[in-house]
Amino acid sequence: MNDTLKSLRFTLLAVVAALFVSAFIIVITDLEALGDGNFGQAFRTLGTAYWGLFKGSFGSLRAISNTITGATPLLLAGLAVSSAFKAGLFNIGATGQMLAGAMGGLWVGFTFQLPAIVHVPLALIASAAAGATFGAIPGVLKARTGAHEVITTIMLNSIASFTVLWLLKTELFKREGRDDAISKFVEESAKLPKLFGFMGKRIDLLAHYGFLVALLATFVFWWLLRKTTLGFEMQATGFNQEAARYAGMRTKSLVVISMAIAGAFAGLAGGSEVLGLYGYASATVAGDIGFDAIAVALLGRSTPIGTLVAALLFGALQAGGRQMQVDTDVPIDLIIVLRALIVMFIAAPLLVKAIFRIKGEAHAFGQTFRGWGG
Amino acid sequence: MKFELKGITKRFPGVVANDQVSLEVSTGEVLALIGENGAGKSTLMNVLYGIYRADEGEILIDGSPVSFSSPADAIAAGIGMVHQHFMLVPVMTVAENVVLGVEPTGRFGSLDISEARRMVREVSDKYHLELDPDAVIEDLPVGVRQRVEIVKVLLRDAKIVVFDEPTAVLTPSEILEFFEIVKTLVSAGRGVIFITHKLKEALTIADRINVLRRGKVAGAADPKHATEAEIAEMMVGRAVQLVVDKSVAKPGESVLRVANLSVVEPDGRTVVDSVSFEVRAGEIVGVAGVQGNGQTELVEAIAGLRRAASGSVTLDGKEITSYSPRERHSAGMAHIPEDRQRQGLVVDQSIVENLVLTRYHDDEFSSGFLMKWDAAEAKAKELVAAYDIRTNDPTQSASTLSGGNQQKVIVARELSRDIRLAVASQPTRGIDVGSIEYIHAQMVKERDAGTAVLVVSTELDEVMSLSDRVLVMYRGKIVADLDPKTVSQMDVGLYMAGSRPDEARAS
């Protein structure tokens, strides 16, 4: 598959280009050193910063744990965006679907007293179901009225945030003795085990079984696309809705189903954060993950394996960024700049072509974003 | 004046679109440039018009080299282009469109519309191109719009006018008018390059014919002596069968029956107006008509892609008016849609996936929720061989295929199973002569096997040579039911234009 290799090369080069531009930013913002004309010092800062970035993401077991912890919700939410992309839908609503999933998992997590072997799966299923239901709403709106999913998912994000804010203050969810929007703790039996828990004393490492759930979800996504009639129908609809309709596929139902599947992935992201990382829910449980997931899907070109790699990269940047901030004066905000640069270079393949003097067409590349048409 | 292209080579990644192509045209003559789709005609003209820059070779005007870096340079040098898809603003008037870019301005830079009108009249009088400067483009028929494009080019003082497939959108009578215009242009001392794939037209109007094949000049022909078959052979590289080879039809029982079928657009326009006809087993019924007279909608209503406002569709005695596309498919209807890229194929998916696009739910290719890709791939291999689809690897995306081979994928998929009725819309539009020949043969084979075949085409030649019976559609109605063996092309053309041959002769 020549095309796959070509797009992989572009993705890699985009990352390299972004690292290069970020390096430039680190050097020129090291004002103290530059003010003294001490260029050597500025470059040493750069070295320390990038070393910190690496050390903090892969340099130790703790670093790896942090990378995995960051990557877990990004991967699940990334799948929510990727799977919708594959069906020709632009899912901006991962945030809202995550919140729905978080609340579903939370409720099952604190309401029932069950053995862990039943409780954990049940809570995860509740997360996926809540996310799927919430995700299906924009699907139904699109199928029935033609309302564009970009608009409706953005609006539903706000609806979800405020609903969660309200729910967290109701008697059902409210934590005893607290007035702010913060929930009860889930039962111990509903918590996802720590990934490195088998190592006994390293119980303080944050990575949890949510990562395994995410890996499983990635596999399910791959299996769906490659092996099932539904996946075939989703992709046909995504590439060419007219042709899908001509072929007798029920494109309207497919829109709803595709959005529900996307919602289920995002719901699991919310659920795994609550059940694996926090043990409770707050109004900010979804954070910016729903939006970062769009960048993850874009970077991963909406393929299962690509989404996985992109989520790990973003998780690593997040974990390494903290170390970088500790080791140098370079603020963690640089990671946001770096991520933005990666996305920019991905979205502007011609720029990457020009920088690296690649001959030939950057064809089929900008296609991940097909914008408002579909 | 003499315009020369000398040794033009233009490469795109992976292809040489033009390979050492040379041609010349002088004012006062018509040069026809013939070649199949993808032979490099458009690339060559885009080089001449300054849209592409040639990798090698030069352009000479009266022997001195020139260099165009944009269409503006080409226009300034006296080259005009009438594109296949007109570049007109539909909501503006003729005069406004014609002066676009060279607007006469009054004081304070405002548009001097009366001067614009005068300019249009001057040109249209000089070349006998009847035009109302104040007519709005969207109200005008296609033939008149083409005249507007021609006036536009002449107003910019083009010495050489390039027409890119100018007759594709015209009715037979409009084509005759167009030829008159070309003659007027030539006698007024302009030169014409006429790009086409229709051999008959090139023979009628051209002074010289140049043939391109796979980016190279395959030869030149003198229209006074050359025959269609000779030129076709030059185009394709081998002898081709231009006339469909078929025996007399032996129609059997009625398979498709369409009764009082009407289709109404959401805006209230009736596009198919109470149409009734039948297609019997073992016959090919052709529907002729100028594009946009309801053929597309008629086919979509028969195939279940569009709701009928009233009337019924019956297949083998069973009413299927409310059936979904898939139910019709299962009932034995095959549909080769009008636009292969938009409807017939998912070009970004593999050839294998496209070969099962309408059949993946059959037990042969899936069991319940799971696809049987091994079975699909085996079937694809079989169909690729049986239907002469030129590809090395059916797992590659359908976009890697040429237009003709893409169409063969659809034909293979639709005709390779047990069917009672085949509905084909524009089955050979924009594909090479070799593939046309092949697809026609397949449809005749299908007919001889007892299938009812309905062919809709705007290519009159195709309908006439392929069909056993010809229906003519005009403004949503079927206005004639003719025998292609006894009726003349000219008469069918008159029906297509909305008149009746007997009336036309009387007047």
**For position B200, what pLDDT does the model report?**
85
pLDDT in tens, B62-111: 999 998 988 889 999 999 999 877 889 999 999 999 988 888 887 788 88
Same domain, B224 and B312: no
8 Å CB contact between B185 and B127: yes
Q: Which residue has the higher pLDDT, B198 or A272?
A: A272
Same domain, B135 and B63: yes
Burial of residue A153 (CB within 10 Å: 0-12, 13-18, 19+) is: buried
8 Å CB contact between A68 and A218: no
| pLDDT above 80: residue B121 | yes
With bands split at pLDDT 50, 70 and 90, how would you rate the model's confidence at B478?
Answer: very high
End-to-end CA distance of chain B: 43
Of B236, B264, B298, the residue that ends a domain is B236
CB-based contact, B100 to chain A, within 8 Å = no
**For position A359, what pLDDT does the model report?**
61
Q: For residues A254-281, give the mean pLDDT.
A: 97
Same domain, B270 and B174: no
**For position B505, what pLDDT does the model report?**
65
Q: Could A227 and B366 be called an inter-chain contact, meaning their C-beta atoms sit closer than 8 Å?
A: no
Q: Is residue B365 domain-resident? A: no
Q: For residues B21-48, give the mean pLDDT.
A: 88
Q: Which residue has the higher pLDDT, A226 or A11?
A: A226
Q: Which residue has the higher pLDDT, B316 or B14?
A: B316
| pLDDT above 90: residue B148 | yes
Q: CA nearest A246 in B: which residue?
A: B343
pLDDT in tens, A211-236: 999 999 999 999 999 999 999 999 99
How far apart are alpha carbons B50 and A55 in whole angstroms?
55
Q: Could A229 and B13 be called an inter-chain contact, meaning their C-beta atoms sit closer than 8 Å?
A: no
| pLDDT above 80: residue B363 | yes
Q: Which residues of B touch A245 (CB under 8 A)?
A: 305, 325
Q: What is the mean pLDDT of chain B?
A: 90
| pLDDT above 70: residue B454 | yes
Q: Is residue B177 domain-resident? A: yes
- Give the gap in angstroms from C-alpha A292 to the nearest C-alpha of chain B: 27
Paired tokens of B45: 């003209």
How far apart are alpha carbons B293 and B135 in whole angstroms?
22
Number of domains into which chain B is organized: 2
8 Å CB contact between A272 and A190: no
Same domain, B220 and B297: no
Q: Is residue B144 domain-resident? A: yes
- Angle formed by the axes of helices A304-327 and A210-227, to 10°? 150
| pLDDT above 70: residue A374 | no
Q: Which residue has the higher pLDDT, B430 or A125?
A: A125
C-alpha pair distances (Å), B33 with each of A144, A357, B40, B196, B403? 51, 37, 10, 6, 20
With bands split at pLDDT 50, 70 and 90, how would you rate the model's confidence at A274?
Answer: very high
| pLDDT above 80: residue A126 | yes
Paired tokens of A86: 């594959």
CB-based contact, B332 to chain A, within 8 Å = no
Q: Which residue has the higher pLDDT, B202 or A125?
A: A125
Q: Which residue has the higher pLDDT, B253 or A370?
A: B253
Closest partner CB to B369 (pick from A228, A243, A247): A228
How far apart are alpha carbons B427 and B436 in whole angstroms?
8
Same domain, B191 and B269: no
User: Where would I find the beta strands (DSSP E) of B27-116?
Assistant: 30-34, 56-61, 64-66, 79-82
Neighbours of A364 (CB within 10 A): 14
Q: For residues A180-192, give the mean pLDDT.
A: 93
8 Å CB contact between A76 and A266: yes
Q: What is the DSSP letter of A206?
A: -
| pLDDT above 90: residue B378 | yes
Q: Where are the alpha helices (DSSP H) in chain A?
A: 2-29, 31-35, 39-58, 61-86, 94-111, 116-145, 149-167, 210-227, 229-239, 241-246, 251-272, 289-299, 304-327, 333-347, 349-355
How far apart are alpha carbons B292 and B496 in whole angstroms?
11
Paired tokens of A360: 């030939």
**For position B507, what pLDDT does the model report?**
57
SS3 A374: coil
Residue A215: closest CA among A17, A61, A367, A74: A74
**For position A87, what pLDDT does the model report?**
95
Q: Could B369 and A230 be called an inter-chain contact, meaning their C-beta atoms sit closer than 8 Å?
A: yes
Positive/negative CA dihedral, B486, B490, B496, B497: negative
Strands B191-196 and B160-164: parallel
How far apart are alpha carbons A290 and B293 in whole angstroms?
49
Q: For residues B452-470, give the mean pLDDT.
A: 92
How far apart are alpha carbons B59 and B21 in whole angstroms?
11
Q: Is residue B367 domain-resident? A: no
SS3 A100: helix
- Per the DSSP assignment, residues forming a β-bridge with B15 are B12
Q: Is residue B155 domain-resident? A: yes
C-alpha pair distances (Å), A238 with each of A10, A234, A251, A300, B378? 23, 6, 10, 17, 26
Closest partner CB to B371 (pick from A232, A240, A359): A232
CATH for B79:
3.40.50.300
Q: What are phi and psi of A35, to 5 degrees?
A: -60, -35
How far apart are alpha carbons B112 and B135 in whole angstroms?
17
Show Cβ contacts of residue B271 under 8 Å, excluding neighbours closer than 6 positions. Answer: B263, B264, B265, B294, B297, B476
| pLDDT above 70: residue B44 | yes
Closest partner CB to B325 (pick from A229, A235, A246): A246
In B306-325, the residues whose Cβ lies within 8 Å of chain A are 324-325
pLDDT in tens, A138-171: 999 999 999 999 999 999 999 999 999 999 999 8
- The domains of chain A are located at 76-304
pLDDT in tens, B183-231: 999 999 999 999 987 888 899 999 999 999 888 998 888 989 888 888 8
With bands split at pLDDT 50, 70 and 90, how would you rate the model's confidence at A360?
Answer: low
- Give the gap in angstroms from C-alpha B215 to the nearest C-alpha of chain A: 20
Q: Is residue B77 domain-resident? A: yes
8 Å CB contact between A130 and A103: yes
Residue A105: closest CA among A180, A173, A155: A173
Same domain, B58 and B149: yes
Give the count of Cβ contacts less than 8 A between chain A and B: 65
| pLDDT above 60: residue B156 | yes
Q: Which residues of B touch A359 (CB under 8 A)?
A: 13
HEC sequence for A49-99: HHHHHHHHHHCCHHHHHHHHHHHHHHHHHHHHHHHHHHCCCCCCCHHHHHH
Q: Is residue B62 domain-resident? A: yes
Closest partner CB to A229 (pick from B326, B344, B369): B369
- Range of B431's domain? 254-344+418-501
Residues in chain B, total? 507
SS3 B61: strand
How far apart are alpha carbons B49 and B5 in whole angstroms?
11
**For position B106, what pLDDT does the model report?**
79
Query: Which residue reads 């085990």 in tokens?
Result: A193
Q: What is the mean pLDDT of chain A?
A: 89
Residue B304: closest CA among B423, B159, B440: B423
| pLDDT above 90: residue B357 | yes
Question: Global pTM?
Answer: 0.81
Judged by phi (left if over 0) then psi (alpha if -120 to 50, else beta), residue B63 lies in left
Burial of residue A69 (CB within 10 Å: 0-12, 13-18, 19+) is: buried
**For position B77, what pLDDT does the model report?**
92
Q: Could B345 and A240 be called an inter-chain contact, meaning their C-beta atoms sit closer than 8 Å?
A: yes
SS3 B209: strand
